Amino acid sequence: MEYTDEEMLMLSGIQHYMFCPRQWALIHIEQQWDDNRLTVEGQLLHERVDNPFYRQKNGDRLTLRSVSIASRTLGLYGITDAVELLPSQTEVNSITHPQYPGYWYPYPVEYKRGKSKPDERDEVQLAAQVICLEEMYHIHIGEAALYYGETRRREPIAITDELRRLTQTCADGMHRIYQSGITPKAVRQAHCKSCSLVDVCLPKLSQGLSASDYLKSNLYEETT
């Protein structure tokens, strides 16, 4: 299955969906957002790496920032933090660059605040970027990396078949919720305390009400 232009969703949202489908719907359907310390730290980190005009050549390695990407099979589009181009001796699984001769192997790097998570929310976002690049350039990428600001460490991530299937499952789930327009019910979990929307995710919404219906209901009650 391939998604159309009108069906494309933001790739960055896949980490929200993996963390909590309800959180993803509140942000991408209900258009609600609230910053906490964790999200602000993440924004500051990305301000330092998101520069689409940035080109760095370190020895044989070329680093590109903010590369626009998209995948029809995932129905996602977005921008990478960084794609490192490593020199390749063959055109197989390689790309060319207009300013640098030869063949280059793309190696995506996603920057995250904090440290590695107990689930795969960061891995699915990275894998989605890989799948986008593979579709765009008709190549195969077997590994990418996550860089964590707290530990200041780069962690290589194998883009396995299992991770690819999980990424596709998340992407399809995002599309199903978006097409239905219904925000999933609230389910209290241990990680809710670190969610930036914990104060927006109100108890009454757990009964299946959308945020707009909740506001209409409460505004009516206050005026009667």
Structural domain contains residue 19: yes
Structural domain contains residue 21: yes
Q: Could you tell me which residues are beta bridge partners of residue 100?
A: 97
CATH number of the domain that residue 59 is part of: 3.90.320
Apex 169 CA angle, 123 and 71, nearest 5: 75
- Side chain identity, residue 224: T
Helical residues (DSSP H) of 87-202, grouped into ranges: 121-137, 161-180
Structural domain contains residue 135: yes
Q: CA 71 to CA 127: how far, in whole Å?
A: 11
Q: CA 157 to CA 170: how far, in whole Å?
A: 18
Statement: the pTM of the whole predicted model exceeds 0.75: yes
Q: CA 42 to CA 153: how far, in whole Å?
A: 16
Structural domain contains residue 85: yes
Domain count, the chain: 1
Domain that holds residue 135: 5-183
Structural domain contains residue 90: yes
3-state secondary structure of 3: coil
pLDDT by residue, tens only, the chain of 224 residues: 899 999 999 999 999 999 999 999 998 888 876 554 344 444 544 455 555 545 566 668 899 999 999 999 999 999 999 999 999 999 999 999 988 899 999 999 999 988 999 999 999 999 999 999 999 999 999 999 999 999 999 999 999 999 999 999 999 999 999 999 999 987 777 667 667 776 667 544 444 445 555 455 545 444 43
Structural domain contains residue 192: no
Structural domain contains residue 119: yes
Structural domain contains residue 37: yes
